[in-house]
Structure 1
Amino acid sequence: MKIAVLGASGRAGSEIAREAAARGHQVLGIARKPAGIPVAPGIVPVAGDATDPNALADLLRGQDAVISALHFDVTAATLLGALRQAGVKRLLVTGGAASLEVGGGTRVIDTPDFPEEWKVPAMGGIAFLDALRGETEIDWTFFSPAALIFEGPRLGSYRIGGDQLVTDAAGDSKISFADYAIAMVDELEQHRHPRTRFTAAY
């Protein structure tokens, strides 16, 4: 497939671009500073500003799918508008864990230990997901990570969840960026969660 990865110079975006290219997909890596995009066979780096939907649409034309690893200062309306203009029907989004549910239906963001300084950016992710849930034209998937996503080894395994936070036997919820990328590209290829949110953790 021909895949555009937005935010391909970031931690999640760079891993996703590498994973997709390693599986034989043609990856268009888009970032404001393309020098940070991984150099690997199958990845074409290009400069782009996702806050400009018209310019972004020009870059996205001809792609089979878009994977967004952007921060949520780029709104769902802006991104969906660019996809519609470009004629791209599939969007996968690197989401946040804050809206996942823990015991009793309480969201992660509403738990007492959730850091106050993280709430504003986390609410951006929640608003983005809420906007996607009203979208019927673009085939979207919102991938919430584990509570902790970290630089670590590529184990090649993970467990899938829906709206509930996935934890291990010790009660921890975590996944490496490398394995997060595996789960994202698996979803790209297997298309198990159309127009819904899922999560993955060890």
Structure 2
Amino acid sequence: MKFVIVGVSGRIGSRAAKEAVSRGHQVIGIDAFAKGEIEGVEIHQCAIEEFDKMVGLMAGADAVLNAIAANMEHPERYGKSIQFIIDECKAARVPKLLSIIGSSSALCPNGTKLIESDYFEEANRIFYENICKSEEVYEHEKELNWGCITPAAFMELPEPILKKYRMGDDYLVIMDEPGIDKNSEAYFDISKISLTDFAYACVDELENDRIHQRRCCVGY
């Protein structure tokens, strides 16, 4: 299969690219700030706003992974970036867009969003509230086959590489181990996955196309 990864130089994008290559897929990487090389990946430096170039790079892909991160200084631009990628995928007639969205808008076991918990300092809360609002772009897209995939609350480093995970819905995936209090609000202790295993889950979804116009949370 042919996959395009937007944000290929990032922590998750680079890991997903390596995993996809290891499975024998063709990978085209796109990044506005392309850094270094990834073995087996054809990397192009391109800004998301370069519409025609993006469409040309996406043409013929079986799926696109959107692994871009929001700019800390300008979080309000994130929604526009998402809309660009959606429109570019539609113009390129890409069968599937899989987008990574953060856990801040995911639901906790009590039904509230993680952003509403005590883990966010005020400055960070404002940033992530902007991100949550930007992610609403997906809710209005009815034509494209899109899916959103969300990691657990805490991305472990140094990271275990287990090549396993569990999938949920809009709720954070809480670890299912003896002694874990699933009603605890210590979400960063009980909702975990490594960067590599999350990237592994992303490539599984690129291959299998199970998430349709909805969000799916992933964790151990």
**Residue 201 (structure 1) aligned with residue 197 (structure 2):** no
* Matched residue, 1:13: 13
TM-score by length of 2: 0.84
* Matched residue, 2:170: 163
In structure 2, give the amino acid aligned to 1:25.
Answer: H
Residues 181, 161 of structure 1: CA spacing in aligned structure 2 closer, same or farther, 3 A cutoff?
A: same
Post-superposition Cα deviations, 1:137-174, rounded to whole Å, max 9, x if no partner, equal: 11111011100113413111111111111112435111
Residues 188, 157 of structure 1: CA spacing in aligned structure 2 closer, same or farther, 3 A cutoff?
A: same
* Matched residue, 1:146: 152
User: Is contact 1:14-1:37 (8 Å) kept?
Assistant: no
Runs of 4 or more consecutive aligned structure 1 residues displaced over 6 Å after TM superposition: none
* Matched residue, 1:86: 92
SS at the partner of 1:29?
strand
TM-score by length of 1: 0.91
> How far did 1:123 drift?
3.0
SS at the partner of 1:50?
coil
User: Is contact 2:61-2:94 (8 Å) kept?
Assistant: yes
> How far did 1:129 drift?
3.1
Post-superposition Cα deviations, 1:73-110, rounded to whole Å, max 9, x if no partner, equal: 35321111111222223100111001111133100001
Residues 51, 117 of structure 1: CA spacing in aligned structure 2 closer, same or farther, 3 A cutoff?
A: farther
* Matched residue, 2:121: 115
* Matched residue, 1:181: 199
* Matched residue, 1:53: 51
Give the length in aligned residue pairs: 200
Task: Using the aligned pairs only, state the percent identity.
Answer: 32
In structure 2, give the amino acid aligned to 1:45.
Answer: I
Larger Rg: 2
Residues 116, 55 of structure 1: CA spacing in aligned structure 2 closer, same or farther, 3 A cutoff?
A: farther
> How far did 1:112 drift?
2.2
* Matched residue, 2:73: none
In structure 2, give the amino acid aligned to 1:201.
Answer: G
Q: Distance in 1 between matches of 2:23 and 2:123?
A: 38
Pick aligned residue for 1:130 from 131, 136, 139 = 136
* Matched residue, 1:3: 3
Residues 187, 125 of structure 1: CA spacing in aligned structure 2 closer, same or farther, 3 A cutoff?
A: farther
Q: Distance in 2 between matches of 1:167 and 1:50?
A: 34
5+ residue gaps, structure 1, are: none
> How far did 1:115 drift?
2.9
Post-superposition Cα deviations, 1:22-48, rounded to whole Å, max 9, x if no partner, equal: 11110001112333342x23x111111
Q: Distance in 2 between matches of 1:157 and 1:195?
A: 24
User: Is contact 2:109-2:172 (8 Å) kept?
Assistant: no
User: Is contact 1:53-1:82 (8 Å) kept?
Assistant: yes
5+ residue gaps, structure 2, are: 71-77, 182-189
> How far did 1:58 drift?
2.3
Post-superposition Cα deviations, 1:120-147, rounded to whole Å, max 9, x if no partner, equal: 4423442343211221211111011100
**Residue 69 (structure 1) aligned with residue 67 (structure 2):** yes
Q: Distance in 1 between matches of 2:127 and 2:96?
A: 25
SS at the partner of 1:46?
strand
* Matched residue, 2:42: 44
Residues 77, 187 of structure 1: CA spacing in aligned structure 2 closer, same or farther, 3 A cutoff?
A: same
Please tell me the root mean square deviation across aligned C-alpha atoms, in Å: 1.7
Q: Distance in 2 between matches of 1:186 and 1:112?
A: 33
